[in-house]
Amino acid sequence: MNALGQPQSVLLVGGSSEIGLAIVERLVRDQTRRVVLAGRPSQRLTAGAERLAQEGAGVDVVPFDAADLNGHPVVVEQAFAGGDLDVVILAVGLLGDQLAAEQDVAQALDIVQTNYTAAVSIGLLASQALRAQGHGTLVVLSSVAGERPRRSNFLYGSAKAGLDAFATGLGDALVGTGVHVLVVRPGFVRTRMTAHLKPAPLSATTDMVAEAVVTALRNRKQTVWVPGTLRFVMSALRHLPRAVFRRLPV
């Protein structure tokens, strides 16, 4: 961190994530100069790295496959090999096809393992590395879908519910170590992953999420909702009787 508390280095796990890249781009505009992108080799990953380099950041790319749990320690080791990292953003996610996955266990497990098992694996490893260096923030991209899973995407929602519980518990476990955990709960975000879906009320853009995360980092928040009004909406929905909630067009 510099004298103003601004991150100088960041690791994005899920290096082609549109939300993740929007956050990193916002940080780079605020003087972050070292970026590590961990993701599957792809045109999107390459384009993201080039765009950040044009913004003035030094960018390293580390191959990362969420499904390869045995390879996760190597990914974290390579990412931290260049020195301390101020921020690690965990943007591992897969929406999947709910109806198809209900009929195909392999698809269902892919959704759950990507959104939860892989995220827990890389999240624990990253938090250990941050703790070893004595400082840093782990940003975990959760979702309001985990607040109360809906019929339309309960596989994704249940995995995000688990991830959210993991992240909040990890944050409590790391109090006093110098490592901070920020849990991000966006609603519907207009991205490539959701392009085929009808936008929900209180939808957000990637830039809105990025602005909220950077502000939360600056203020050392533990949780941030995007948009903020979703906190109150989900509080109400959580307490609706199940029979009523089931009838809602969500």
Helices 18-29/206-218 angle, 10° precision: 50
Q: Is the pLDDT of residue 198 over 80?
A: no
Q: Is the pLDDT of residue 171 over 90?
A: yes
Q: Is the pLDDT of residue 238 over 80?
A: no
pLDDT tens readout for residues 11-47? 999 999 999 999 999 999 988 999 999 999 999 999 9
Instruction: Break the chain into its structural domains and give their ranges.
Output: 9-247
The proportion of the chain whose per-residue pLDDT surpasses 70, expressed as a percent, equals 90
pLDDT band at 139 (very low <50, low <70, confident <90, very high): very high
Distances (CA, A) of 18 to 57, 90, 192, 209: 18, 12, 8, 10
pLDDT band at 233 (very low <50, low <70, confident <90, very high): confident
Most confident of 64-78, 141-155, 234-248: 64-78
Phi-psi region of 178 (alpha: psi -120 to 50; beta: other; left: phi over 0): left
Mean pLDDT within 170-176: 97
CA distance 62 to 58: 13
CATH homologous superfamily for 9-247? Answer: NAD(P)-binding Rossmann-like Domain (3.40.50.720)
Q: Is 156 a catalytic residue?
A: yes
| pLDDT confidence of residue 173 | 97
Q: Residues 64, 116, 156, 166: which is the catalytic one?
A: 156
